[in-house]
């Protein structure tokens, strides 16, 4: 049994960047190394990556397949850890590796929101339930119950804003790819994260639908003055970013301004 998850997440549930004002780094990777082991074979993937993400920024991460983009995004989102003693990831100045496990849960469910290429929706749940699952994870069973009406309204509003108001009771299998990704975006946003982390969110969609999905994310970002870190292959998507970061051979090779 979890003891009061609502309190557990509080330390990291700081003011929204739009309210906090002023410049500052939301996320910061410093000399990050990440190595995978395949049995006894060492696979170094990130070999000293540094990246600062400013509040309100849209950063695009580019690089060849296998260059470590997803790995970097997972580290930024606290889904995986950097090699011990080899660099750090900071959220609002706090080293993620120093957080308690409750704080790390809070970080993943409150501070960041994830959007993946293949949606990762639960097929047996409705559209609305898929979004509410994220709220349940954040608030825990009792916290969720006491806020259920409010959270359902928020999830419904997000889905409505993304053009899915008539689809709330449908299953993901009944939706198009673009609609599924909208559900995934609503799920990522339902807890009001500081930072949206998106891993090739348009990579599985045709050009037109991909463009619409990008517009959904950029529209939300403009409205909330939120921060967006997006892995993408698409130069047109990257051209809309404030900054492009390229990964090559486990390092950042260039950080150019864009558009």
Count of chain residues binding ligand ADP (CB under 6 A): 12
Smaller CB distance to ligand ADP: residue 65 or 101?
A: 65
CA distances from 40 to 35, 36, 37, 43, 194 (A): 12, 10, 6, 9, 38
What distance in Å separates the CA atoms of residue 118 and residue 111, rounded to the nearest whole number? 22
- The dihedral over CA atoms of 205, 209, 210, 214, expressed in degrees to the nearest 10, equals -150
Q: Quick one: which of 19, 40, 65, 85 contacts ligand ADP (CB under 6 A)?
A: 65
Q: Based on the shown chain and the rule CB under 5 A, indicate whether residue 109 belongs to the binding site for Mg ion.
A: no
Q: Based on the shown chain and the rule CB under 6 A, indicate whether residue 71 belongs to the binding site for ligand ADP.
A: yes
- H or E segment to which residue 185 belongs: helix 177-189
Residues 6+ positions from 109 with CB-CB distance below 8 Å = 9, 134, 137, 138, 191
Q: Where are the extended beta strands (E) located within the chain?
A: 25-38, 41-54, 58-63, 88-91, 94-95, 112-115, 195-199, 227-231, 243-248, 251-257
Instruction: Name the segment binding Mg ion (CB under 5 A); options: 3-11, 31-39, 69-77, 172-180.
Output: 69-77
Q: Based on the shown chain and the rule CB under 6 A, indicate whether residue 70 belongs to the binding site for ligand ADP.
A: yes
Q: Which does 78 bind (CB under 5 to 8 A by kind): Mg ion, ligand ADP, none?
A: none
Smaller CB distance to ligand ADP: residue 45 or 216?
A: 45
CB of 69 to Mg ion, least distance (A): 5
Q: Based on the shown chain and the rule CB under 6 A, indicate whether residue 38 belongs to the binding site for ligand ADP.
A: yes
| Cα–Cα nearest to 32, from 2, 65, 61, 1 | 61
Smaller CB distance to ligand ADP: residue 56 or 63?
A: 63
What distance in Å separates the CA atoms of residue 48 and residue 62, rounded to the nearest whole number? 16
Q: Based on the shown chain and the rule CB under 6 A, indicate whether residue 43 belongs to the binding site for ligand ADP.
A: yes
Q: Quick one: which of 28, 32, 33, 70 contacts Mg ion (CB under 5 A)?
A: 70
CB of 94 to ligand ADP, least distance (A): 24
What residues line the site for Mg ion (CB under 5 A)?
A: 70
Residues at the interface with ligand ADP (CB under 6 A): 36, 38, 43, 45, 63, 65-71
């Amino acid at each position: 049994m979890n003891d009061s998850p609502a309190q557990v997440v509080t330390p990291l549930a700081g003011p929204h960047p739009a309210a906090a004002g002023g410049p500052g780094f939301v996320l910061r990777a410093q000399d990050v190394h990440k190595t995978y082991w395949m049995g006894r074979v060492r696979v170094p993937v990130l070999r000293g990556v540094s990246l600062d993400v400013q509040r309100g920024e849209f950063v695009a991460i580019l690089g060849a397949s296998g260059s470590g983009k997803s790995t970097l995004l997972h580290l930024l989102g606290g889904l995986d850890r950097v090699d011990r003693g080899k660099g750090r990831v900071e959220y609002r100045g706090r080293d993620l590796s120093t957080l308690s496990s409750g704080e790390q849960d809070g970080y993943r469910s409150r501070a960041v929101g994830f959007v993946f290429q293949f949606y990762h929706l639960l097929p047996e749940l409705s559209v609305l339930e898929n979004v509410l699952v994220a709220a349940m994870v954040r608030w825990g069973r009792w916290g969720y119950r006491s806020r259920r009406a409010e959270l359902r309204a928020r999830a419904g509003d997000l889905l409505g804003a993304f053009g899915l108001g008539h689809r709330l009771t449908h299953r993901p299998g009944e939706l198009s790819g673009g609609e599924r990704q909208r559900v995934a975006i609503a799920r990522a946003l339902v807890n009001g994260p500081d930072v949206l982390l998106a891993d090739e969110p348009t990579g599985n969609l045709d050009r037109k639908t991909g463009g619409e999905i990008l517009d959904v994310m950029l529209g939300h970002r403009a409205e909330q003055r939120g921060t967006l870190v997006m892995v993408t292959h698409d130069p047109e998507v990257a051209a809309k970013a404030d900054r492009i970061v390229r990964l090559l051979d486990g390092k950042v090779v260039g950080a150019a301004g864009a558009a």
